[in-house]
Structure 1
């Protein structure tokens, strides 16, 4: 990066942090610290929800996902609008009316303390693992740009986020999310404009090349449980995942619990129902346009700079590089001659992929997935001065919004559902406020440590959703029981969750069914098991009487 890029990045990040500290002032009670005194307007909540879900992973990995696999990942979100409507109509009003701090507090009122404790622990495990993945994305950026060790980059980002989150609580998190989402939008627009501007073909030509490469494939209608992304997995599995994430995950529920009214909370959810798919389509389209750019501008043999450097030191690299160059030239020639040369284009692409795999093997990284480095390579090598700094600021803003939201929600559940409920029941409000700040700091440092182990997960956007899908089916099922099955008992709910999680892990390790369906399977098992166990319990009670 050049000096102007560093200025843009530094000013953007400093402004965001200072704004968050300013908006978070006055968070001097537990209710203000964790729920912002229920004063948030709909537009702040709406962009906070969107920013929290977006994360730096969206920038780095979703664009790379589109580069290698086309735009079919957008089907992942096809069920989200319906999920948001259901949450706005049935879930948010119940949480608001109950006056709870956390979603899991509601479960004790409906069932019992052990169901609340079980689900709280599941959330802490799942979200605790995910926060490290979220922090690893911006660390990847700094490592690529600066060559700094990942330990240094994760610590730098972690301390920045911990600073304003510990100080201002959820108010600081929400208002910084609001600004960060605006910065992210500017970064996305800048990335697309630059990709199109640098390509030697116009928009029509770019669409023709992307189409020939199979990168413009937003809808796959074939029903296949083993195919990750098709219309059916997106509409059904994606809807269940969105219901669980936005309706049961405290990192999202806490956003609309801060609303000044239930009407404002509903508006924030419905905004996301309308805006989310277009935003993801736009991000994936950027990845497709980056593919077009690299069709006419030679890409590196391997996008991961560390692996590329290792490969260059090996004896067989020159032959592999020649093979790659021949294939790339053939692909470019086929692209320039379109239409009518689609077969030649795809054959050349396959030859490039073979050469890339050989280079990775030479470097000792057989089966390398360097999807997360593709967009970074484009940004750092080809973006104009100043725009690089803006894109970096957008990536960091996305990371900060997600990490701050996650450590704040982890702290909330730790204090409200564990510490205050089971360990220290009678302390005053100032004690719980201090405990919340300490818990926020703890989870922030936990994220710094766990981020060190999230560097070899392949596509981060897939990794984080696969991780969530191992737990979300159980969460969704128990809240389904709480909202819609009044005769289900605490015992039925508790053992239903355990059986649902067992079914998910059995599916994961015993079948080839893809992860979006885990949410459906887990939810249905929880509901069926909860209803049956409760019926047996009532029958046993009646027989005893």
Structure 2
């Protein structure tokens, strides 16, 4: 059911967003020189840097998608961030001293000093591609979900979010992004704390917080650590510590959207303390957000939940030829809920292993029902899918007399794959809609407006950082560096503002034409992982391989990027490992090419 916001919620939402935009525009008025506009005047304190760095990474996707991830799969996703503290220490010891000593505006200026202009330009372009796509997704993610749940027009939402960001980012540059992110993080923390408090109070009085944790644990939702070496498993301790470290090193050490946050620091010590602050608090913050999602899961052990949280898709299937099948599935889920509620209440009063096992089985059955609901929705909305599925099903049935034949196994695997693909469709994959649906249906007036402000503030903070960084790279690394005559500071500031406006419009356009097939937070990290390993490898070559020259790195980076894209396309490994893979491959290829290419001079840094 689409929701109509109460006037209190509208008031809270509009005042919160207007205050953030107005404050950012007013606080940074009159910034004219490049030092002020691009680097924020080098005046930021460590806590401002730390909050800005956290806000840049904590997009709306974090709150919509991470809670949905926890609802579906539990706390294990927190392992993704285990490499972050390690990366922060390395960046503080290696990257920041070098950037500070060279007084660079962008991370890629260093690469020209170390290698050559074409390597700097290539790395900058790789950044522009992946971050440009990500900027569009950070707008699109909350917009598409709010449009479905509230019935708002998706294009209108994309434009509203994008225009709000463009106003203060064009006006004040890096400083505007930094000062507004402090307010945005305050709104985010306040909103999420209030949400957790309300969720816990919505659980029956006789069920304590500890009981809620036990109920979640019985269904496997509280399993945080996975020490397995299974490459099919995306989130383990090892993928987090190894793949995650390389991803975070590249993201925080070479991605201009983050580098620009700490380059605004008033001293090297302030920059380092800001990143260490992020390293200390980011993992607990993600743990907390996941815990909110788990508590929503516990709430639905005592309250009925929809088979699918995308109401528009549910209405579509109910009015289709598969409506009776879907209603039958709803009846099964309703009967299952009654059993689940009784077992959950009993478990809150007893530590009986038999009850835990029974609840685990009931949860597994419900997952099966949810998968079946996605399959029915997919068939209802996509006639071509239905035709392909029915054809394959008939072919499998015709081969049932030969169940061990290669043909039967191949057809059966194809049928299973087609069934599983139904769960990834944007109109069936509902985990990103879970939290916003819960908010609108269960939270009190006023708090709904605050939580919507949290989602939109997070979208604005990440998007502002991204288009600010995109404009800086375009202005400094491409436009400014390739001008035959040196341009004045006023001209560069003016061009950076135009590039900011341009990238903001590009992000809105990408958002308007975007389509998602993955869980949102995974999709953003997949896009990053395709590029980050290669970029990190280029920087490590610059730092530690003094004999490697620009030609070897440039050619090696092009070859590596092609290999990584192929590896991702054919799913050679879980996406987090692409960060390590890309980094190692570019280092190996560059070393090999250096032996084969003619010797040229190098520059010591």
Shorter-chain TM-score category? over 0.9
Q: Which runs of 5 or more structure 2 residues have no equivalent in the other structure?
A: 382-421
1:467 and 2:527 are equivalent in the alignment: yes
User: SS of 2:58's equivalent?
Assistant: helix
User: SS of 1:241's equivalent?
Assistant: helix
CA positional deviation for 1:100: 1.3
Alignment check: 8 A CA contact 2:374 2:429 kept: no
Please tell me the root mean square deviation across aligned C-alpha atoms, in Å. Answer: 1.6
Aligned match for 1:79, one of 77, 83, 94: 83
Alignment check: 8 A CA contact 1:72 1:230 kept: yes
Alignment check: 8 A CA contact 1:77 1:234 kept: yes
Aligned equivalent of 1:70: 74
Aligned equivalent of 1:328: 337
Alignment check: 8 A CA contact 1:307 1:360 kept: no
Alignment check: 8 A CA contact 1:83 1:242 kept: yes
CA positional deviation for 1:524: 0.7
Aligned equivalent of 1:250: 256
After TM superposition, list the pairs within 5 Å mapping 1:382-461 onto structure 2.
382-423=442-483, 425-461=485-521
1:345 and 2:405 are equivalent in the alignment: no
Query: Structure 1: which 4+ aligned runs deviate by more than 4 Å?
Result: 538-541
CA positional deviation for 1:495: 1.8
Aligned equivalent of 1:203: 209
More deviation, 15-24/45-54: 15-24
CA positional deviation for 1:417: 0.9
User: SS of 1:103's equivalent?
Assistant: coil
Aligned equivalent of 1:159: 163
User: SS of 1:337's equivalent?
Assistant: helix
CA positional deviation for 1:202: 1.1
* Aligned-partner Cα distance in 2 for 1:287–1:377: 12
* Aligned-partner Cα distance in 1 for 2:485–2:370: 59
CA positional deviation for 1:436: 0.7
Aligned equivalent of 2:299: 293
CA positional deviation for 1:235: 0.3
More deviation, 488-497/403-412: 488-497
CA positional deviation for 1:511: 4.0
Residue 35 to residue 472, structure 1, CA distance change in 2 (3 Å): same
Deviation per CA, 1:455-475: give whole Å up to 9, x if none: 433311111001100000011
* Aligned-partner Cα distance in 2 for 1:115–1:74: 35
After TM superposition, list the pairs within 5 Å mapping 1:171-320 onto structure 2.
171-200=175-204, 201-314=207-320, 315-316=323-324, 317-320=326-329
Aligned match for 2:583, one of 523, 531, 534: 523
CA positional deviation for 1:319: 1.4
Q: Which runs of 5 or more structure 1 residues have no equivalent in the other structure?
A: none
Alignment check: 8 A CA contact 2:549 2:600 kept: no
* Aligned-partner Cα distance in 2 for 1:430–1:300: 57
Alignment check: 8 A CA contact 1:136 1:452 kept: yes
* Aligned-partner Cα distance in 1 for 2:462–2:19: 18
After TM superposition, list the pairs within 5 Å mapping 1:354-373 onto structure 2.
354-363=368-377, 364=380, 366-367=422-423, 368-373=428-433
After TM superposition, list the pairs within 5 Å mapping 1:7-22 onto structure 2.
7-22=11-26
With structure 1 as the length reference, what TM-score do the two structures score?
A: 0.96
Q: In the comparison of the two structures, how many residue pairs are matched?
A: 541
Aligned equivalent of 1:26: 30
CA positional deviation for 1:145: 4.6
